[in-house]
DNA sequence: ACCTGAACACCGTTCAAGT
DNA sequence: ACCTGAACACCGTTCAAGT
């Protein structure tokens, strides 16, 4: 569209690439400028400070993630799922215990950056709230305790990206355990009725 | 205690303090030296580079953590626990969903540093393997599926430190969910009946 | 063995100045 | 509106030199 938009997009794309290749430590305004083929001063015209550049970069990275997840959602929701168990396993494999190293690295850097940047922290939290709601809508038709399941799966997934390969159980067994846990989820104390085929919660 | 040990200890202590107060971004060799009342060159005599200083600092931070956990263990294991459920709840509250912001910040910085430092990454992994084994030994007398439970709790805990306050369930409900989940853990397919009589009656 | 200061290349930011 | 180069204070690292 406008030149501003073009330039902004280019800068952000190069920033993501640099973040992935060299990490937050190696992320330098001069390197970004060089990667874009522009001057440091010109870069600073579009993003007055490093914080603003990172904020915009993270925001766009989240948008990309969302698009990928949308694609996975189509993948994960066949018209007529064989069983809720197979469906659930696919969800966990794709969304939760995904071994996308590239994304994991970027997320790790983002988490680090966020602990000293309140605006970025707010962006992150909004993203995760959104993500949780989306995941609930994905599974609530099948599992009535979607709130609880998602509240378990999201932190588990984030933690697994960090410590997954230090655990006593391997990846396959982790997935099996989660599937078993969720399909045999204990009944809610308030509803008093046992789990699998109660209607959707109000 | 040699002078070398004294100096090393002082430097690491000041580094931890700086890491907590200003984060990895604000961690500067010149600031560390100033905090210790020594010269930058002198600091570099004890730690030839920033990476070596961070490696040593993280190692000592882990030692501190372990001591704290040992203290919590005594706290968490009364001679005659009222019930395995109360015991489990205490474990989860103290070790898993601990809201120690100070530690969370430092761990976040450490995770970030580790993605670009192989030696540090190895230190981290060794620590978590150790931690998992310890946690298993803590609960295996009560819960036969200790391997699985720990494999769930550790990544969950790490992730909760990151995204805990964005989840649909609040802290109290999260703890309740975990307790319920574990006390009513589904029986292992191989061991068969072993898991059935774990929980207390309710 | 312990400590020092000067110098190096690099960083983010500022700013007056050009088109 | 868009772009530039010079200058600033700060960073990690190196190193010859002192005790």
In A, which residues are within 8 Å of B155 by CB distance?
155-160, 162-164, 167
CA dihedral sign of residues B44, B50, B52, B58: positive
Flag whether pLDDT at A93 surpasses 90: no
Q: Of all residues in chain B, what percent carry a pLDDT higher than 70?
A: 88
Flag whether pLDDT at A202 surpasses 50: no
In B, which residues are within 8 Å of A148 by CB distance?
169, 173, 177
The half-sphere exposure of B93 on its side-chain side, counting CA atoms within 13 A, is 11
Residue A180 contacts B, CB cutoff 8 Å:
yes
| CA pair distance B97, A36, nearest whole angstrom | 44
Q: pLDDT tens digits, residue range B129-187?
A: 999 998 898 888 888 899 999 999 999 999 998 999 999 999 999 999 999 999 898 87
Any idea what the Cα angle at residue A99 is, between residues A96 and A102, rounded to 5°?
A: 115
| CA pair distance A180, B135, nearest whole angstrom | 22
**A79-83, B15-19, B93-97, B166-170, range with the lowest pLDDT:** A79-83
* Cβ neighbours of A42 (radius 10 Å): 13
Flag whether pLDDT at B190 surpasses 70: no
Q: How confident is the model at residue A8 (pLDDT cuts 50, 70, 90)?
A: very high
Nearest to A22 by CA among A103, A110, A101, A106: A106
Please compute the mean of the pLDDT values over residues A11-36 and round it to a whole number. 92
Residue B24 contacts A, CB cutoff 8 Å:
yes
| CA pair distance B95, B154, nearest whole angstrom | 9
Q: How far is CA B92 from the centre of its chain?
A: 13
CB pair distance less than 8 Å for B156 and A159: yes
Those residues with Cβ within 8 angstroms of residue B151's Cβ, 6 or more apart along the chain or in another chain = A167, A168, A169, A173, A174, A177, B132
Cβ of residue B2 near strand C, that is under 7 Å?
A: yes
**What's the pLDDT score for residue A16?**
94
Flag whether pLDDT at B35 surpasses 50: yes
Residue A49 contacts B, CB cutoff 8 Å:
no
Q: pLDDT tens digits, residue range A130-179?
A: 999 988 988 888 888 999 999 999 999 999 989 999 999 999 999 999 99
Under a CB-based contact definition with an 8 Å cutoff, are residues A158 and B111 in contact?
A: no
Q: What is the pTM of this model?
A: 0.82
In B, which residues are within 8 Å of A166 by CB distance?
125, 128-129, 132
| CA pair distance A132, A129, nearest whole angstrom | 5
Please compute the mean of the pLDDT values over residues B14-29 and round it to a whole number. 89
Q: How confident is the model at residue B89 (pLDDT cuts 50, 70, 90)?
A: confident
Q: pLDDT tens digits, residue range A107-117?
A: 887 887 787 77
Buried b (16+ CB within 10 A) or exposed e, A6-37: ebbebbbebbbebbeeebbeebeeebbbebbe
- How many angstroms is C1' of C3 away from CA of B38? 9
**What's the pLDDT score for residue A200?**
38
| CA pair distance A78, A75, nearest whole angstrom | 7
- What DSSP state is assigned to residue A185? P
CB pair distance less than 8 Å for B162 and A155: yes
- Terminal-residue alpha carbon distance, chain A: 45
**What's the pLDDT score for residue B88?**
83
CB pair distance less than 8 Å for A181 and B24: no
| CA pair distance B80, B70, nearest whole angstrom | 18
Q: pLDDT tens digits, residue range A30-86?
A: 999 999 999 999 999 999 999 999 999 999 988 888 888 778 777 766 655 566 778
| CA pair distance A136, A18, nearest whole angstrom | 34
**CA-only gyration radius of chain B, Å:** 20
Flag whether pLDDT at B11 surpasses 90: yes
Give B5→chain A minimum CA distance, Å: 30
In B, which residues are within 8 Å of A168 by CB distance?
132, 136, 147, 150-151
Under a CB-based contact definition with an 8 Å cutoff, are residues A184 and B186 in contact?
A: yes
User: Left (φ > 0), alpha (ψ -120 to 50) or beta: where does A37 sit?
Assistant: left
Q: How confident is the model at residue B80 (pLDDT cuts 50, 70, 90)?
A: low
Q: How confident is the model at residue A190 (pLDDT cuts 50, 70, 90)?
A: low
């Amino acid at each position: 569209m406008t030149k501003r938009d073009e330039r902004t997009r280019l800068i952000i794309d190069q920033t993501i690439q640099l973040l992935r290749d060299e990490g937050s430590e190696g992320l330098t305004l001069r390197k970004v400028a060089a990667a874009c083929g522009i001057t440091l001063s010109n870069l600073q015209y579009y993003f007055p400070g490093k914080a603003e550049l990172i904020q915009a970069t993270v925001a766009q990275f989240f948008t990309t993630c969302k698009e990928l997840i949308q694609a996975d959602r189509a993948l994960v929701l066949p018209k007529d799922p064989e069983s809720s168990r197979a469906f659930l396993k696919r969800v966990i494999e794709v969304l939760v215990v995904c071994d996308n190293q590239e994304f994991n690295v970027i997320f790790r850097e983002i988490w680090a950056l966020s602990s000293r940047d309140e605006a970025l922290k707010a962006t992150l939290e909004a993203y995760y709230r959104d993500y949780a709601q989306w995941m609930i809508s994905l599974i609530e038709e099948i599992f009535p305790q979607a709130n609880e399941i998602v509240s378990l799966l999201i932190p588990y997934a984030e933690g697994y990206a960090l410590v997954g390969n230090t655990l006593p159980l391997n990846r396959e067994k982790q997935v099996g355990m989660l599937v078993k846990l969720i399909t045999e989820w204990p009944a809610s104390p308030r509803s008093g009725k046992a789990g699998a085929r109660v209607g959707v919660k109000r």
